[in-house]
Amino acid sequence: MGRKSSILIAGLLLALLPVAPALAAAPSVTGVSSPTTTGSYKVGSPVIEIRVQFSEIVNVTGTPTLELETGVTDRTVNYSSGSGTNTLKFNYTISTTTNPDTSADLDYKATTSLVLNGGTIKNATAEDATLTLPTPGAAGSLGANNAIIVDTTPPTASVVLETIGSAGNATARSTELGNLYLVRGTNSPTSVNNILSLPANERTTGTAIATINTDTNVPAAMLTSGPYKIYAADVAGNLSAASALNVIIDAAGPNVAMVLVSTALSNSSRIAVQSNETGKAYLVRDTVVVLNVASITGSGDANFNEVTISAADTVTSLATSTLNDGSYKLYAADTVFNLSAPFSTLITIGADSSSPTVTTATPFTAETQAAVAANLVIKFNEPVAKFTTNNTKTFTLVRSVTPTITTGSLTGNVVTLTFSSAPGLIVGDKITTTSCSNAVFNNAASAITAVSGSTISFAKTNVDVVSAAITGCTYTATKNDGTTDLITSSEVIPSDGSRVVVAAFPNDNRVTVNPSGEMLLGVAYHVLISAGAIVDLATPPNSYAGVLSATPQTWSFSTGADTIAPTLSNSQSDPPNGMTTFTPNRNITLKFSESVVDVANKFIKLCTGAVDCATPVQTFTLQTSTASGGLVAVSENTVTINPTTDLSFSTTYFVLIEASAFQDGSANNYAGMATCSSHPCSYE
C-alpha cells in the first residue's frame, strides 16, 4: 500500500470513532438586589426581600441561607421561594435581638455568604450551582444595586425650657435628621403613628429637621394650653424618648377690664385698665381690623396707645395722648402675645363737655349713725382735680338745725343754759360763750358738768356772781382736750387747702374732705359744695355743679354712736345659702344689714372645688377694673356680682370675701369670710 492509501485509511478510522459532548457551564450567581425602596428602615418595618439571581433556572431543596452584614450581630436569613426560576428570594426582618441591627448600606457579609445549609441548588441537569457572590459593595452586589439603610437607634430630642403662645415656636433639636413633634405632656407615645392618632390640638404633625443638633422652630399653632414635650423621629421612623424639659404653651388670651367712664375723654386724659396676666394693654381705634398684636402695632401711632402691665390684676394708667378723636377698643396681650377679646364697652376720645357727677358719697344720705369724726368722701364718675386758684370754692359742713340759747341762770357760780333744742354737747366738752345779753355769762372754755335734754350746766370761774339771768348768747365748743373744735353750726373748708385731697391713680376720681372740727353726737348735718370746687381733667376743665342750696338737702345725715359692723344675710342674698337650683346666667346678689361701701383693693372670690380656693373661678378686686364695668356694683345694702362667664350646671360654688372689704358709714368693717375650712362654706 502506498503512503497516501495509509493516510486515507487512518482518517476513515478516526471518523468512525464516537465523539464525547462538550461539558455545560454550572449555574452561577449574576447579581444580588432587592425590590425594597431605597430608604431607611427600622424594627417594625416591612420584611426586606433579597433576591439572588442565577445564570439559569435552578431548583432548590432544603433551606439555603444568606448571611447579612448587620453590625455587631450579623443576621442569617433563610431562603423563602424561587425554586424553578433563576431568582431565589430571602426575607430579612430587622431585629434588635442581642444587638440592634444597623447598616449604612445593607449588604451580605462576604462572597461566601450564600450557603446550602444541607440543601441543594442545581440546574435542570442536576449540576450544582456555584454559590460565589459578587464582592460586597462591588458591581452586582446588594450594596451596589440598592441603598437600604438599617437604623434601629432612636434620635435624642431636646427643647428650650420656655413659655410660648399659640402663635409661637418651640425651639428644639434632634441628633438625627427626620421630624420633630410637640406632644402634650399627658401623652406617652411610642411611635409616630401613636402621635398622629392623638387629638389634633394635643400634638403637631411634624416639622422637618434641616440640620442635626441645630435649633429648629416647631410651630405651636392650634395646640391647647399646657406643658408639652418634644419628640424626634429619624428618617427610619425611630421615635426618641420625650425631651427632658417641657415647653409651656399658653394658648389662652388674658381678660381685660377697665374702670368705666361715662363721658368722652380728651387726648390728654387716661383710662384705668387691668389684665389678669402681665403683658401689655392696647387702646385701639375701632376702625383697625385686629387679628393679633402685630395688626395693632402696625396700624400707626395715631390709631393706638399701649402700656405695660407689670403686675396681674393691678390697675394701670393707659394714656389717651396722641390719639385722634373717635371710638376705641381696649385689648390686652400677655407676654407670649395671646390677645384678649376687646373690652365690652367702647371708649370715646374727643371733646369732653360733660361735667363730672357724683356716684357715691359718705356718710350716706339719710345715714342716722354717722361717726362724729367721719370724713366726707365723694366718688365721681371720672378723674377729677380740685380748684386751687384761690380759696373762693368751698365745702361747707352745716349743722342742719343750730339750737340757740334761750334762757340761762347763774347760781353759786354754776351756769345753767337752756337751748331751743338738744345742743348735742356731752359732759366734758368745753363751751365758750360770747355776746351774752348779760356780760356776766361770757366765759371761755368751761367744762360741761351736766347735760339734761336741752339744758347744760358748767362751773363759771371768771367772776363771782350770786345770781343772774340772760336771754341769749353766742357759743362755740371744743372737746375736753380743749383743742378739737366741735362743729356747733358749720365749718367752711376751702378747696385749695390741704384738707381737701384728690386721691392718686387709680382712685383719682375720689375726693376726701377732712374737717378740722368734729361733729356733735346725735345731730343732723348737711353738705354744701361750691360750683367749680371740683373739675375734671378736660382742656378746658368742666366744673362739678356742686351742692348750692340746703333746700332741698341733697346730702344730709345724722351722727350717732354706731359701733355695729355690717353683716351679710345669707338667707336674703340671692342665691340663698344652700340653694341647688340657681340659674347659671343669673347675677349673685349679696344683702347686708345696712348700707355699705366697698374698700379699695379688697377681694371677693368666686370659687369651686377645694376649700382653699387655690384657683378661683374669678377674683374681683374692689374699686379696680376687675370689679368695675358692672362686675361688682354697690347700692346701699346690696352688692351685685356679675361673673364674666356664666356658671356651670351641676357645680357647687362658694364665695369668699376678704375682711374689711365693705364698711358702713361709720367706718365699721364687715368681718368678711376670707377662708373656708370645710364644705359647706359660709356662703355656698
- pLDDT digit string, tens, across residues 585-610: 778 889 888 888 888 888 899 998 88
Distance CA 605, CA 222 (A): 31
pLDDT at site 271:
87
Summarize the confidence of residues 416-435 as an average pLDDT.
91
Distance of CA 546 to the CA centre of its chain: 42
Cβ atoms of residues 243 and 175 within 8 Å: no
The CA-atom distances, in angstroms, between 401 and each of 131, 134, 477, 610 are: 129, 124, 16, 56
- Assess whether pLDDT exceeds 60 at residue 584: yes
CATH topology identical between 157-250 and 358-399+489-558: yes
The CA-atom distances, in angstroms, between 234 and each of 106, 179, 245 are: 18, 7, 20
Radius of gyration of the chain (CA): 49
3-state helix, strand, coil in the chain (%, to 5): 5, 40, 55
3-state secondary structure of 144: helix
Cβ atoms of residues 429 and 450 within 8 Å: no
Domain residue ranges of the chain, discontinuous segments joined by +:
29-151, 157-250, 272-349, 358-399+489-558, 405-486, 568-663
Q: Which CATH number fits domain 358-399+489-558: 2.60.40.1220, 2.130.10.10, 3.30.2130.30, 3.20.180.10?
A: 2.60.40.1220
pLDDT at site 581:
73
pLDDT at site 21:
47
Summarize the confidence of residues 487-513 as an average pLDDT.
92
| Sign of the dihedral through C-alpha 99, 105, 107, 109 | negative
pLDDT at site 169:
94
CA angle 183, 187, 192 (to 5 degrees): 60
Higher pLDDT, residue 2 or 237: 237
pLDDT at site 530:
96
pLDDT at site 13:
47
- Of 65-74, 347-356, 570-579, give the lowest mean pLDDT range: 570-579
Summarize the confidence of residues 74-95 as an average pLDDT.
96
Concatenated DSSP letters for 162-178? EEEETT-EEEEEESSSE
- Assess whether pLDDT exceeds 50 at residue 9: no
* Helices within 106-162 (DSSP H only): 142-145
Cell of 540: 378746658
- Assess whether pLDDT exceeds 80 at residue 369: yes
User: Residue 678, Cβ neighbours under 10 Å: how many?
Assistant: 6
E-strand ranges in 38-94 read: 39-41, 48-61, 65-69, 76-81, 85-92
CA angle 12, 17, 22 (to 5 degrees): 125
Amino acid identity for residue 139 in this structure: A
Tallying the residues shown for the chain, one arrives at: 684
pLDDT at site 128:
96
Distance CA 427, CA 8 (A): 178
Cβ atoms of residues 330 and 282 within 8 Å: yes
Distance CA 380, CA 354 (A): 12
- Of 3-17, 202-216, 523-537, 637-651, give the lowest mean pLDDT range: 3-17
- Assess whether pLDDT exceeds 50 at residue 14: no
**Could you tell me which of 652, 625, 622 has the C-alpha nearest to residue 639?**
622
Whole-prediction pTM value? Answer: 0.61
- Of 26-35, 49-58, 306-315, 567-576, give the lowest mean pLDDT range: 567-576
Q: pLDDT tens, 222-252? A: 999 999 999 999 999 999 999 999 999 998 8
Distance CA 539, CA 545 (A): 17
- The pLDDT-based confidence of 3 (bands split at 50, 70, 90) is very low
Cβ atoms of residues 221 and 248 within 8 Å: no
Mean pLDDT estimate for the chain = 89
pLDDT at site 24:
61
- Assess whether pLDDT exceeds 70 at residue 255: yes
- Of 5-9, 191-195, 392-396, give the lowest mean pLDDT range: 5-9
Higher pLDDT, residue 561 or 154: 154
Q: pLDDT tens, 265-323? A: 887 788 888 888 899 999 999 999 999 999 999 999 889 999 999 988 788 889 988 89
3-state secondary structure of 249: strand
Distance CA 574, CA 583 (A): 11
pLDDT at site 8:
45
Summarize the confidence of residues 23-46 as an average pLDDT.
91
Domain 157-250, what architecture?
Sandwich (2.60)
Q: pLDDT tens, 123-147? A: 999 999 999 999 999 999 999 999 9
Any idea which fold 405-486 has? Elongation Factor Tu (Ef-tu); domain 3 (2.40.30)
pLDDT at site 4:
47
Q: pLDDT tens, 370-421? A: 889 899 999 998 889 999 999 999 999 999 999 999 988 888 788 899 999 9
Cβ atoms of residues 353 and 478 within 8 Å: no
Cell of 560: 350717732
Whole-number percent of the chain with pLDDT over 90: 58
**Could you tell me which of 379, 426, 380 has the C-alpha nearest to residue 559?**
426
- Of 14-18, 91-95, 255-259, 478-482, give the lowest mean pLDDT range: 14-18
The CA-atom distances, in angstroms, between 181 and each of 191, 193, 195 are: 11, 12, 8
Distance CA 634, CA 621 (A): 13
- Assess whether pLDDT exceeds 70 at residue 194: yes
pLDDT at site 465:
58
